[in-house]
Amino acid sequence: MGKKRGQPLDIYINLWYNYSRKNCRNMSVKLLLLKSGEDVVAEVQEMVIEEKVVGYYLKYPCRVNLVSDLTETEGSSRVPSKIQLLPWMPLSKEKMIPVVSDWVVTITEPIEQLSKMYADGVEKYEQPKNSDSNN
């Protein structure tokens, strides 16, 4: 499965997408900055082919928005006062959304407040599904 010269990128994306998910490495909840400029928080798994990370699976990804307080005090600039989480790719059926590694600028640990918001949101999202399956 080594890369051959002249093969289009879509062949590798297809291979990666259809490759067995048993070759994933868990990374836990992370904050990603994408090339699009979006901040996304998700439970992340690395997609590994031949010991190389070729992409990531994002479980329940959410776009992170900072909502600024419009009031400014003397000598200071606007300071974010709220964090807002919105579903990323809300129309997808997929629970695990693949992203090629070329689209990820960086991956970091989220601040505690963001991690807690994300965990609470995922728990609330999964509760109705769990109660439906018990009936």
Mean pLDDT of 64-71: 77
Q: Using an 8 Å Cβ cutoff, are 31 and 39 in contact?
A: yes
In the predicted structure, residue 1 carries a pLDDT above the cut 50:
no
For residue range 15-63, list pLDDT tens digits in order: 555 554 555 667 799 999 999 999 999 999 998 888 888 999 999 999 9
pTM of the full predicted structure?
0.71
State residue 20's pLDDT score. Answer: 47
Of 15 and 87, the one with more pLDDT? 87
In the predicted structure, residue 69 carries a pLDDT above the cut 70:
no
For residue 86, which of 66, 116, 109, 112 has the smallest C-alpha distance? 66
CA distances from 119 to 23, 28, 43, 71 (A): 25, 11, 10, 30
- Domain at 9-70+78-134, CATH from 2.30.30.100, 3.40.605.10, 3.30.70.1350, 3.40.50.9100: 2.30.30.100
State residue 135's pLDDT score. Answer: 55
